[in-house]
Structure 1
Amino acid sequence: MKFRWETEFKETEIGEIPKDWEIRKLGELLKSLESGKRPKGGALAHNPNGILSIGGENINWDGSLDLSECLRFDENFYKKLKKGRIEQGDILLVKDGATIGKLAYIKEAPEGKAMVNEHVFLLKSNNSKTYSRFLFYFLFSEIGQQQIESSISGSAQGGINKSIKDNILVFYPPLPEQSRIATVLSYFDDLIEVKKRQNEILEKTAMAIFKSWFIDFEPFKDGEFVYNEELGKEIPKGWAVKRLGEVVKIESGGSAPQKEEYFIGGKNPFVRVKHLTNYPCVEEADFINDEAVEQYNLKLYNEGSIIFQRSGESLSFGRVNILPFNAYIVNHLAVIPNLPSNKLLMEFLFFTLKNILIELIEERSGTALPYIRISDIEKKEILLPPPHILQSFHSLVEPLFQKIILNQKQIMTLRKIRDTLLPLLVFGKLRIEKV
């Protein structure tokens, strides 16, 4: 791979570019700009075995997709669509709502077939004029984001309309260079995606072991069982039934610093609801300074602590994450601290807590869920095996959790490198002569 620093630039209406680059309107580089729709009937038309319909809530700020809560509709509806079908190389842009401006690049259509709903634009590149992944990275850059933001019109949350084809201007290097830029940046994104999938598999593996041991009791079926009235089922003899609050102390996070001055020069990670993921680990954090920590009397929690959402938008309820770094947390989150006294229990508590949150959410199904009281969680009865069994489980799954945390740290490093390179490459300051 061969790089060189560019020294000759020219001014344009959207910034400085290399002398041999051009500026093009977004519309000149697109084959089409489409938006999807959803079938009449809304939830009644939802088919859990149908085709994925991607909305703004399924697109993350880092450009990735989160399809865990994606709606699905009947394949016949998908077949009748003239617009909105997702194909490899498409760019998704949220055009209205709370997540307006979010972008995603489609390396390959999820599950082979997918569509967008009416809140998402589908940008289909003209492959003879632009390299679609380069176009995505440009739109994802600071200049691209500024232009997308300035395209929002209307009252309340506003919206983005098809005038972006004429209003958004794109830095336009020669096609071979577009390909080289996209190749380098996508190398980091592809590595990030691989590590995310590894973490998903590692968590599912650990969950399968947890279910086998503590739900189905498969390793203990040859032993003696006794009927437990509190749980209403037979359990292995010698196992205890306790309230979660008797086993571990759950704590609430602290107040969120509000003033911008508390973020200036910030080096202390501060985790909010938006940082929770459907993967086992928190991926990012805001950073606050020492003054904010002191002013709000915030408590630092250790790497390996378990956090979950207890208030806020109901969409994120049920997410349980591990902290891959020491951090402070917001009061919408609760935490089981990773303390020496809890070491043996952490992996067991991670999955136990996930099951408890699912139960609480199901109990309140159909009603507003503004918060989950910590006391409600601590009152939940859990089945606690003897210490030697907990030790065996811990020894078996702790390496999986350690690998998850290591992967997450590598993801954060890869993302930092990509974010450093992206403006240098997309704006032509650092030129790639050979890949």
Structure 2
Amino acid sequence: MGSKLYPLRPLNSMVDIYDYMRIPVKKSDRKPGPYPYYGASGIVDYVDSYIFDGEYLLLAEDGENLRSLNTPIAFMASGKFWVNNHAHILKRSSDNSTKYLHYALQYADIQSYLSGSTRPKLTQSDMKRILVHYPHPYEQRAIAHILGSLDDKIELNRQMNRTLEAMAQAIFKSWFVDFLPVRAKQSARTQTGDPVHAKAEGRDTGLPAEIAKLFPDSFEESELGLIPKGWNSSFLGQEFQITMGQSPPGNTYNEIGEGLSFFQGRRDFGFRFPSKRVYCTAPKRIAKYGDTLVSVRAPVGDINMALNECCIGRGVAGIRHNSESRSYTYYTMKTLSDTFAQFEADGTVFGAINKNQFADIPWLSISKDIVDMFESFVFPYDEYIYNNSTELTGLINIRDILLPKLISGELRVPDVEDFIGTVV
């Protein structure tokens, strides 16, 4: 353990400031291009020109996030890019590490440097005075390497989850939106040729025989247009169990883990699973493990999946297909994003959808055999996403515990190097 904490220095002693070079451009005047256009919270657009080229640190100048800290206030920008006047532009001076400073500013207490009661602002003069822990530059680089390795592993897991979900969603779309197995069987039925030629010409389903045989080989008219023969037009309310949330009394909420995890809206939604922050000891409405959680107000249509039985408030609905298929439910709701967006646009004050509107959304009635087969077909993808997400939560917790201790000097790099090697 470190015998003493690293000394504190004002930020302006560790960086050069390039605010004088930033140029705001109105959205109507921007020309689309390949270069990122940054604001206070990251990339807001892509434009056809750039004013910076290199590795810089951007620090938010204004916005509510300076107080709420819902997202990082400091972020790296590399390569060619443009910055508006809502972010300070910093670059390491001397041998300091820009990446270390990126992490150090996440730990630094900036609240006393903010001005503005309605819209927080971090002026350049106040920004210069922010006190930051100053280890020797070689220690800065070592700290940045450890935290960066964790962030790289976190981002790798996130990218893998996005890829896996896109693959599963593509299978869902192929089967239940574009009906490609049916089209392939229909084409094979109406044309001659042996199986080898059928596959070469795109008339083979590409699916194992036990799956392909579940699909019909023709279409029929319905209220939804042409659908596979034997399938029926229906509504979400007939095919899914819809549980609309209801908010319990406020005095039953807590953040100490008593009762069921509680989701009032989409605030705690993650990529696939929500994070546990608030709990409730007297739930009114409950979503079961594996139910798809859909935000039903402000905004409508954000999607997550319940990791366990949970309490849902009035901003969330719990959805489950009559077959109990978790994956079929989840990817159906993802497919309906454009439909949900219509309710978001229709709101006079904010978007919302009630149970009757939800239940009346048109959908297909499909045989349980096909739904069950889809569930088993995409299960490996969703299981991998679950395992990745579990590991991701652990990595984020490790990073968030280590960051303040490494930045301050409470822990030194040799104290954690071996441990980090086992997790990344």
TM-score, reference length from structure 1: 0.77
Report SS of the residue matched to 1:307: strand
Query: 264, 268, 286: which is aligned to 2:277?
Result: 286
Helix, strand or coil for the counterpart of 1:249?
strand
State which of 382, 389, 394 in structure 2 corresponds to 1:413.
Answer: 394
Which of 1 and 2 has higher RCO (CA within 8 Å, sep 6+)? 1
Give 1:274 shift: 1.9
Match of 1:63 in 2: none
Name the SS for the 2:412 alignment partner.
strand
Offset at 1:37? 5.1
1:182 to 101, 126, 144: 144
Query: Which of 258, 262, 265 matches 1:270?
Result: 262
Cα distance in 1 between the residues matched to 2:323 and 2:396: 32
Q: Residue type matched to 2:45 in 1?
A: R
1:355 is displaced (CA, Å) by 3.1
Once residues 245 and 343 of structure 2 are traced to their aligned partners in structure 1, the CA distance between those partners, rounded to angstroms, is 25
Equivalent of 1:195 in 157, 165, 177: 157
| Offset, 1:280 | 3.1
Give the CA deviation at 1:113. 4.8
Stretch moving more, 346-355 or 399-408:
346-355
Worse-superposed segment, 328-337 or 180-189: 328-337
Secondary structure of 2:356 counterpart: helix
Identity among equivalent pairs (%): 25
User: Could you say what secondary structure the match of 1:403 adopts?
Assistant: helix
Distance 1:121 1:258 in 2: 40
Letter in 1 for 2:99: R
Which of the numbers 329, 337, 340 marks the counterpart of 1:357? 337
User: Which residue does 1:214 correspond to in 2?
Assistant: 176
- Give the conservation status (yes or no) of the 8 Å contact 2:287–2:310: yes
Q: Which of residues 320, 327, 334 is equivalent to 2:317?
A: 334
Distance 1:300 1:216 in 2: 34
Unaligned runs of 5+ residues in structure 2 are 187-216, 418-424
| Equivalent residues of 2:17, 2:88 under 8 A apart | no
Q: Which of 373, 393, 400 is the aligned partner of 1:392?
A: 373
The Cα of 1:238 is off from its aligned counterpart by: 0.4
**Amino acid aligned to 1:6:** G
Q: Which residue among 320, 323, 326 is the counterpart of 2:306? A: 323
Number of aligned residue pairs: 379
Question: So what's the TM-score if we normalise by structure 2?
Answer: 0.79
Instruction: Specify the SS of the correspondent of 1:241.
Output: strand
1:123 aligns with 2:75: no
CA distance in 2, matches of 1:366, 1:113: 40
Structure 2 match to 1:95: 62
1:304·1:322 contact (CA, 8 Å) conserved in 2?
yes
For 2:338, give the aligned amino acid.
I
- 1:382 shift after superposition: 0.5
Partner of 1:311: 297
Aligned to 1:243: 235
Counterpart CA distance in 2 for 1:281 and 1:120 is 32
Amino acid at match of 1:182: A
Mark the runs of 5 or more structure 1 residues left unpaired by the alignment.
10-16, 60-69
Note closer, same or farther for the CA distance 1:425–1:396 as it changes in structure 2 (3 Å cut): same
Q: 2:131 aligns with which of 140, 145, 169?
A: 169
Q: Secondary structure at the match of 2:110?
A: helix
Give distance in 1, aligned partners of 2:409 and 2:252.
Answer: 32
What secondary structure is seen at the aligned counterpart in 2 of 1:328? strand
**Cα separation, partners in 2 of 1:148 and 1:424, compared to 1, 3 Å:** same
Q: 1:351 to 1:160 in 2, by over 3 A?
A: same
d(CA) in 2 for partners of 1:266, 1:328: 12
For residues 168-225 of structure 1, give each alpha carbon's deviation from its aligned partner in whole angstroms, at most 9, with x where no partner exists: 0111011111122222222222111111101100111011111111111111111111
1:402 equivalent in structure 2: 383
Tell me the equivalent position of 1:133: 99
Deviates more, 1:410-419 or 1:252-261: 252-261
Of residues 122, 142, 158, the one that matches 1:160 is: 122
What SS class does the counterpart of residue 16 from structure 2 fall into? Answer: strand
Question: Given the alignment of the two structures, is residue 28 of structure 1 paired with residue 13 of structure 2, yes or no?
Answer: yes
Flag the 1:215–1:52 CA change in 2: closer, same or farther, 3 A.
Answer: farther
Which one has a bigger Cα radius of gyration? Answer: 2
- Tell me, yes or no, if the aligned pair for 1:130 and 1:175 is still in contact at 8 Å: yes
Could you tell me how far apart the structure 1 residues matched to 2:323 and 2:407 are?
47
Equivalent-residue separation in structure 2 for 1:244 and 1:299 (angstroms): 20
Alpha-carbon contact 1:250-1:374 (below 8 Å) kept: yes
Give 1:337 deviation, angstroms: 4.9
